[in-house]
Amino acid sequence: MKKLLSVAGAAAVLALQGPAAFAADSMSLMLNWTPTADHAPLYYAKSKGWYSEAGIDLNIEAGKGSAVSAQRVGTGGSELGISDLPTTIQARGKGADVKALMVIYANSPQGFYWLKSSGIQGPKDFAGRKIGNPPGDAARLMWPAFAKKTGLDPASVSFVNVSPQAKVAALKSKSVDIISDFYNEHDLKVREFGDDLGFQPWRGAGVNVYGNSLIVNGAYLAKKPEQVKKFVAVTQRAYEACVKDFAPCLQALTASVSGLSPDNQRDQWERIKQLMRDDTTTKVALGAFDGARVKADYELVSSLIGIEKPYDPALLFSNDFLDKNVRMAP
């Protein structure tokens, strides 16, 4: 009898907790790299309980490059991820089951940095030099496109494996001649190298492809579209909130991730807002893709790098999950 009462009591407690206690779906999101300012809205939304309120138990996992993230999501190892769009274009051509649902960087964040004292004045002087970046770095994968756009032989440089955290030290020690990095980190390098710093943004060299984007596994999307819609809605809302006021987002990020300099992350966010802004994100929706630009990116990758199994680029993305009332500040 006591056992029956105990079971009944437990059932009553669970009933009082309501369906929300059981409704949360576990979702894993693999970042493109270790967490920094561009990922702060995810940590902010999680700290505020927005994902939980939407029935999502979100696990955020640090990544090792867009190629790794696209592959993981494409095989179903993670439901969601963040990946550079040209890398996603290539991954889908190799059979990865992925779709992009929200662009974070409407402008390419990629750039090359060097020391002017090394004799390099611009990309025309890159031949015979060493470029430092990680193996899975999107800049390494897209290098043939940049090289051909700037009149270089893609084989004229050599790549050295350098972790993101070691790039500045590698350039300073001259173990490499050039490093690739996101524009987010620009201020850190200016402070370190001053007037000796050389910089070439990819977007200034005619390679302004879409950058980091939120991607989803296609099979998961087909199975749980409503859950994906909730995730995108919360994430879009979080990015909007952080554009308006970054302070609580920075607090959420640094509370979850150790070793970050708050000043550096603030500087990064100011650059990130520039990268998030274009005619589509300000006039259609924050995070929205322009179909013509996606097609142009696809054609660029196809012509300069190659796509293993060609497909219709319209299948690569969707704006259907975005709230059109949420727009990037002009």
pLDDT tens digit sequence for 265-313: 999 999 999 999 999 999 999 999 999 999 999 999 999 889 999 999 9
Q: What percent of the chain has pLDDT over 70?
A: 93
- Same domain for 29 and 65, yes or no, is yes
Q: Where are the beta strands (DSSP E) in 56-96?
A: 56-61, 80-84
User: Hey, what amino acid is at 183?
Assistant: Y
What pLDDT does residue 166 have?
Answer: 96
Least confident of 35-39, 142-146, 289-293: 142-146
In a domain, 17, yes or no: no
Tokens of 159: 């790549």
Q: Quick one: three-class SS letters along 110-168?
A: EEEEEEHHHCCCCHHHCCCCEEEECCCCHHHHCHHHHHHHCCCCHHHCEEEECCHHHHH
In a domain, 238, yes or no: yes
Q: Are 217 and 71 in contact (CB under 8 A)?
A: no
User: Hey, what amino acid is at 284?
Assistant: V
CA distances from 73 to 30, 92, 200, 256 (A): 8, 11, 31, 23
User: Hey, what amino acid is at 4?
Assistant: L
3-class state of residue 262 by DSSP: helix
Average confidence score pLDDT of the chain: 92
Distance CA 155, CA 220 (A): 39
In a domain, 9, yes or no: no
- Beta-carbon contacts of residue 56 (< 8 Å; ≥ 6 apart): 24, 25, 27, 227, 230, 231, 234
Domain that holds residue 125: 110-205
User: Which of 187, 205, 223 marks a domain boundary?
Assistant: 205
In a domain, 121, yes or no: yes
- Beta-carbon contacts of residue 249 (< 8 Å; ≥ 6 apart): 40, 41, 43, 44, 238, 241, 242, 269
Cα-based angle 182, 137, 272 (whole degrees, multiple of 5): 20
In a domain, 16, yes or no: no
Tokens of 246: 């970054």
In a domain, 13, yes or no: no
To the nearest 10°, the Cα dihedral for 223, 65, 287, 78? 20
- Same domain for 149 and 224, yes or no, is no
The whole-number average pLDDT for the span 307-323 is: 98
- Same domain for 47 and 120, yes or no, is no
Instruction: Reply yes or no on whether the pLDDT at 47 is more than 60.
Output: yes
Where b means 16+ CB within 10 Å and e means fewer, 151-190 reads ebeeeebebeebebebbbebbeeeebbbbbbbbbbbbbbe
- Same domain for 291 and 196, yes or no, is no
CATH number of the domain that residue 81 is part of? 3.40.190.10
Phi, then psi, of 253 in degrees rounded to 5: -65, -50
- Strand bridging mode 130-133 / 178-182: parallel
In a domain, 325, yes or no: no
Distance CA 304, CA 187 (A): 31
- Same domain for 186 and 304, yes or no, is no
Cα-based angle 30, 32, 36 (whole degrees, multiple of 5): 100
What is the chain's alpha carbon radius of gyration, rounded to the nearest angstrom?
A: 22
Instruction: Give the DSSP letter of residue 185.
Output: G
- Same domain for 51 and 190, yes or no, is no
Distance CA 328, CA 210 (A): 16
- Same domain for 223 and 80, yes or no, is yes
Distance CA 190, CA 34 (A): 22
pLDDT tens digit sequence for 159-200: 999 998 899 999 999 999 999 999 999 999 999 999 999 999
- Same domain for 217 and 71, yes or no, is yes
In a domain, 18, yes or no: no
- Number of folded domains in the chain? 2
The whole-number average pLDDT for the span 41-51 is: 98
- Same domain for 148 and 98, yes or no, is no
What pLDDT does residue 141 have?
Answer: 85
- Same domain for 125 and 261, yes or no, is no
What pLDDT does residue 16 have?
Answer: 38
- Same domain for 228 and 289, yes or no, is yes
What pLDDT does residue 23 have?
Answer: 64
pLDDT tens digit sequence for 199-225: 999 999 999 999 999 999 999 999 999
Instruction: Reply yes or no on whether the pLDDT at 263 is more than 50.
Output: yes
